[in-house]
């Protein structure tokens, strides 16, 4: 592959060209209730070319590798159509690397029969709790070999196994429908999804318990959020604002997001770190062939960094961080997060809750959205906190607020960091789902708007 890609690149005259090619084989199993909705294997092969001429970028994706040379010509010609201004790329060393994946249990060595049995077992557990109406269970293992070559002489070949299990139990009593979800797995082999019977049991129990929960009155509360929610908060509410492609050509936003600005209290550190083995957002080289690294976004409450592609780094005069990612060969790389988390401090969850007179303990994550200024999250379940104790189970509420105000209202950071990955992912610019992990310790937020009945 290396010599083929380089030989095609050599024939092309352009300021900058890169080729990505992916070979993907995936196995999927999907249960809804007692029925198997789908089971099978899919093969996908395809490539993407990015070319840069003075004017701008051109991107071409394709399935037929034999015609690479003609696609390259097309890409360069297309790039010449945009003749506006110049794009520079931050310098990075050129490299040649071949990175194999080493899962403990190679999913390709496990028969479909065995995977089917595993899913059937978990699915039965999901359906066995009281008042469970239906389940939704998705299993997938994906083997990818990704080839990257560019006109600067870099060649990187990365292999990856992605094995995930998503479980949902849906309980119903009349018009009261409640669901609980669990995402398991990430970058790695079949071992990640084995022995998860307990998780399945817990998920079903959670959904069924939620039927007894009570809605809550709308209003402002002090809210303690669990690691799942604090991770999503770090990612959704703050992480996206740190993606330099939102900022680098927008002077007004850049003024708001200036480095050094205080966003939170001294205990608050937010980090993006791709090279954490096993996590959903793990990678060593991004889709521009740049080595990944740990980046502090917020340190001691101050904005200290952001996530870059080579282009945004050059434009802003900062170091590239290796955060240019594409969900597949069909898309060009854009600035994305990887494993984003809030760094743990030293307060236990119990201490945090005991300091609240009246508030809410919110757990789990059903969904969320932000528009760079506001966010809304739907937790899975929650408890009312009264005089420092968890009392009533509550349901169907959401958390919403202004991102900047909320960051400033984080008054306590816990000591129990957990990172979560799963079958879902992050969406941006039409590219969904991108594998990421999010995490954090428990954190406490003052004056958060809780919407409910």
The distance from CA 434 to its chain's CA centroid, rounded to whole angstroms, is 6
Among 194, 202, 330, 416, binds another protein (CB under 8 A): 330
The helix, strand and coil proportions of the chain, stated in percent and rounded to the nearest 5, come to: 25, 40, 35
Q: How far is the CB of 258 from another protein (least distance, A)?
A: 12
Subset of residues 253 to 292 that bind another protein, contact rule: CB under 8 A: 253, 256
Closer to another protein by CB, 175 or 195: give it: 175
188 secondary structure, DSSP code: S
Position 446 contacts another protein (CB under 8 A): no
SS3 59: strand
Position 447 contacts another protein (CB under 8 A): no
Among 1, 99, 284, 372, binds another protein (CB under 8 A): 372
Query: 216: closest CA among 411, 399, 406?
Result: 399
Q: How far is the CB of 274 from another protein (least distance, A)?
A: 24
* Separation between Cα atoms, residue 145 and residue 161, nearest integer Å: 9
Taking the alpha carbons of 293, 193, 423, 402 in that order, is the dihedral positive or negative? negative
Among 16, 116, 304, 314, binds another protein (CB under 8 A): 116
Query: 6: closest CA among 148, 158, 145?
Result: 148
Q: How many residues bind another protein (CB under 8 A)?
A: 72
Position 114 contacts another protein (CB under 8 A): no
SS3 392: strand
Subset of residues 93 to 112 that bind another protein, contact rule: CB under 8 A: 112
Subset of residues 39 to 68 that bind another protein, contact rule: CB under 8 A: 39-46, 55-64
Position 328 contacts another protein (CB under 8 A): no
Query: 82: closest CA among 120, 45, 51, 43?
Result: 51
Any idea of the CA torsion for 249, 250, 255, 258, to the nearest 10 degrees? Answer: -50
Taking the alpha carbons of 190, 192, 193, 194 in that order, is the dihedral positive or negative? positive
Subset of residues 384 to 423 that bind another protein, contact rule: CB under 8 A: 396, 398, 400, 402, 404
- Between β-strands 418-420 and 132-150, what pairing exists: parallel, antiparallel or unpaired? unpaired
Site string for another protein, 119-138 (x = CB under 8 A): --------------xx----
Among 5, 79, 360, 417, binds another protein (CB under 8 A): 79
Q: How far is the CB of 416 from another protein (least distance, A)?
A: 26
Closer to another protein by CB, 42 or 104: give it: 42
Closer to another protein by CB, 36 or 390: give it: 36
Closer to another protein by CB, 55 or 278: give it: 55
Query: Which residues, at least 6 apart from 385, have a Cβ–Cβ distance to it below 8 Å?
Result: 222, 224, 353, 356, 358, 359, 360, 361, 391
Q: How far is the CB of 144 from another protein (least distance, A)?
A: 14
Q: How far is the CB of 309 from another protein (least distance, A)?
A: 12
Position 368 contacts another protein (CB under 8 A): yes
Subset of residues 132 to 191 that bind another protein, contact rule: CB under 8 A: 133-134, 170, 172, 175, 177
Closer to another protein by CB, 60 or 413: give it: 60
Q: How far is the CB of 359 from another protein (least distance, A)?
A: 18
222 bridge partner residues: 359
The region of 79-87, 121-129, 151-159, 431-439 touching another protein under the rule CB under 8 A is 79-87
Among 32, 99, 145, 262, binds another protein (CB under 8 A): 32
- Is the distance from CB of 447 to CB of 400 less than 8 angstroms? no
Site string for another protein, 336-355 (x = CB under 8 A): --------------------
What stretch of H or E contains 372? none
Q: How far is the CB of 277 from another protein (least distance, A)?
A: 30
* Separation between Cα atoms, residue 434 and residue 337, nearest integer Å: 9
* Separation between Cα atoms, residue 336 and residue 284, nearest integer Å: 14
Site string for another protein, 239-258 (x = CB under 8 A): ------x---xx-xx--x--
* Separation between Cα atoms, residue 40 and residue 294, nearest integer Å: 37
- Is the distance from CB of 29 to CB of 50 less than 8 angstroms? no
Site string for another protein, 199-228 (x = CB under 8 A): -------------------x----------
Among 14, 17, 19, 71, binds another protein (CB under 8 A): 71
Q: Where are the beta strands (DSSP E) in 129-197?
A: 132-150, 155-173, 176-187
Structure tokens at 229: 């929610």
């Amino acid at each position: 592959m290396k010599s083929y890609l380089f030989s095609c690149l050599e024939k092309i005259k352009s300021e900058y060209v890169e080729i990505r090619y992916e070979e993907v084989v995936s196995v999927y199993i999907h249960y809804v209730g007692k029925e198997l909705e789908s089971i099978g294997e899919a093969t996908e092969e395809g490539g993407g070319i990015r070319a840069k001429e003075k004017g701008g970028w051109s991107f071409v994706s394709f399935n037929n590798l034999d015609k690479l040379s003609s696609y390259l010509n097309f890409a360069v010609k297309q790039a010449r159509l945009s003749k506006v201004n110049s794009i520079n790329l931050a310098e990075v060393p050129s490299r040649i690397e071949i990175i194999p994946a080493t899962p403990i249990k190679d999913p390709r060595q496990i028969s479909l029969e065995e995977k089917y049995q595993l899913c059937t077992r978990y699915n039965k557990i999901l359906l066995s709790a009281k008042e469970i109406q239906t389940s939704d269970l998705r299993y997938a293992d994906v083997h990818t070999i990704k080839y990257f070559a560019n006109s600067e002489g870099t060649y990187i070949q990365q292999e990856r196994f992605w094995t995930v299990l998503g479980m949902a139990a849906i309980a119903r009593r009349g018009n009261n429908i409640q669901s609980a979800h669990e995402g398991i797995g990430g970058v790695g082999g079949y071992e990640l999804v084995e022995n998860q019977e307990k998780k399945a049991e817990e998920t079903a129990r959670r959904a069924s318990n939620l039927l007894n929960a009570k809605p809550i009155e709308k209003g402002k509360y002090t809210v303690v959020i669990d690691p799942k929610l604090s991770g999503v908060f770090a990612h959704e509410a703050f992480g996206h604002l740190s993606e330099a492609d939102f900022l680098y050509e927008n002077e007004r936003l850049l003024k708001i997001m200036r480095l050094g600005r205080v966003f939170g209290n001294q205990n608050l550190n937010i980090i993006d770190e791709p090279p954490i083995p096993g996590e959903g957002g793990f990678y060593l080289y991004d889709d521009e062939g740049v080595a990944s690294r740990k980046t502090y976004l917020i340190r001691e409450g101050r904005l200290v960094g952001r996530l870059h592609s080579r282009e945004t780094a050059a434009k802003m005069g900062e170091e590239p961080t290796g955060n240019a990612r594409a969900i597949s060969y069909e898309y060009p790389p854009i600035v994305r997060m990887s494993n984003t988390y809030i760094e743990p401090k030293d307060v236990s969850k119990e201490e945090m809750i005991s300091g609240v007179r009246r508030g809410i303990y919110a757990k789990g994550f059903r969904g969320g959205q932000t528009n760079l200024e506001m966010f809304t999250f739907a937790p899975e379940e929650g408890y009312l906190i009264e005089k420092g104790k968890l009392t009533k189970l509550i349901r169907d509420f959401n958390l919403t607020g202004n991102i900047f105000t909320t960051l400033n209202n984080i008054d306590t950071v816990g000591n129990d960091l957990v990172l979560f990955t799963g079958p879902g992912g992050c969406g941006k610019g039409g590219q969904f789902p991108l594998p990421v992990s999010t995490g954090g310790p428990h954190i406490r937020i003052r004056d958060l708007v809780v919407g409910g009945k």
